[in-house]
Structure 1
Amino acid sequence: MSSKVLTPQAAQTLLAQGAVMVDIRSADEYAREHIVDAQNVPMEQLNTNGMPKSETNAVIFHCNSGNRTVINAGVLDNCATCEVYILEGGLAGWKKAGLPVVKDASQPLELQRQVQIGAGFMILLGVILGTTVSPSWYALSGFVGAGLMMAGITGFCGLARVLMKMPWNKKAVA
């Protein structure tokens, strides 16, 4: 079976005929904003457990921009026993078409964005303090840069672990 790409309008028509929309983003991304009636089954779960059993003739997978979905198309094709479709442009394409989404601004930003903001802030702070106060502050930028490099190599991000424990992230839907 090979997945086909659908425009948001064609996907909406297919949904009205009983297709299921599956959001492959992480739970924290889904909690903040998602397509109305979309089910959240993160890609990591699909990789290990496959698709939950469902009585449908078609499933439409999507992510935020469409890139993750296209990259994982082969895995997604094997997850379902029915017709498999990919939403063109993902959530961003759906919103651009003016179709309904559920937004919950009380949910925290996605963890990846929090890490990017935190790391960027610490690197910038190290450069500013290194220039204005003491060159030893450059070590902060070096430390954060090394941490990001190790996170990329090992898959373990200490900053993400710390951020997950912050009070604002306790609201995230699991």
Structure 2
Amino acid sequence: MTSTNEMPISKTKSVKQNRLKILDPASLKTLIDQQAVALIDVREPAEHAGEKIPGSILVPLSSFDPTKVPTRSGQPTVLYCRTGNRSAQAAQKLFASGVSEVTHLEGGLSAWVKMGYPTQVNKTAPISLMRQVQIAAGSLVVIGTVLGAFVSPWFLILSGFVGSGLVFAGISDTCALGMLIAKMPWNQRV
């Protein structure tokens, strides 16, 4: 059970430097097998409902409240998401609340699955958030293009707007459309 890396977090306000510990999938698997970890999934409810690491507790980043992160005495709390980006953002919120040490899963659920470790899969869960975003964005582009060709060229602005949003999402790793879709009722099932 070892951390593979520690990353100092810049702009800390306390004298003690905050550290983001990174745990590899094999070390997390060992901790889970020993029942020696509190595992927190910071993805959205629909993602958690679709596939999760067994025993994980959902505390979505979109409504992340550091006081709602359960801790177990003497056990590390490990955050995870799909790739590690959102769990690092959740860690920042924990640091801002006064927690000085946070651990997250390196590579997230994707790395866990790649290693062949077990997940709980719910075949009746909503389709993935990424697929929903692709369907919505693609539909808006097609609608804007068709209306631009047959009704008024001004409708092409819709296609350009959606394309610009996708470029921004790719650069910033923040998708406004994804955050909006995540709040839809069908994605709130747990």
**TM-score, scaled relative to structure 1:** 0.71
Provide the rounded CA distance (Å) in 2 between the counterparts of 1:53 and 1:79: 15
Bigger mean CA offset, 37-46 vs 82-91: 82-91
**2:49 is matched by which residue type in structure 1?**
A
Unaligned runs of 5+ residues in structure 2 are 1-17, 169-174
Unaligned runs of 5+ residues in structure 1 are none
CA deviations 1:146-166 (Å, max 9, x no partner) are: 47879x9xx986xx47x935x
**2:189 is matched by which residue type in structure 1?**
V
Q: Which of residues 132, 157, 177 in structure 2 aligns to 1:114?
A: 132
Indicate whether 1:11 and 2:31 are aligned. no
Do the aligned residues in 2 keep the contact of 1:46 with 1:79 (CA within 8 Å)? no
Aligned residue for 2:119?
A: 101
- Count of residues paired in the alignment: 162
Q: Let me know the Cα RMSD of the aligned residues.
A: 3.6
**1:123 is matched by which residue type in structure 2?**
V
Do the aligned residues in 2 keep the contact of 1:111 with 1:164 (CA within 8 Å)? no
Do the aligned residues in 2 keep the contact of 1:64 with 1:90 (CA within 8 Å)? yes
Indicate whether 1:34 and 2:88 are aligned. no
How far residue 109 of structure 1 moved from its aligned partner, in angstroms, is 2.1
**TM-score, scaled relative to structure 2:** 0.66
Provide the rounded CA distance (Å) in 2 between the counterparts of 1:7 and 1:103: 22
Provide the rounded CA distance (Å) in 1 between the counterparts of 2:108 and 2:79: 8
Provide the rounded CA distance (Å) in 1 between the counterparts of 2:98 and 2:45: 21
Aligned residue for 2:184?
A: 164
Aligned residue for 2:157?
A: 142
Determine what percentage of the aligned residue pairs are the same residue.
29
Helix, strand or coil for the counterpart of 2:64? Answer: helix
How far residue 77 of structure 1 moved from its aligned partner, in angstroms, is 4.6
Provide the rounded CA distance (Å) in 1 between the counterparts of 2:156 and 2:140: 7
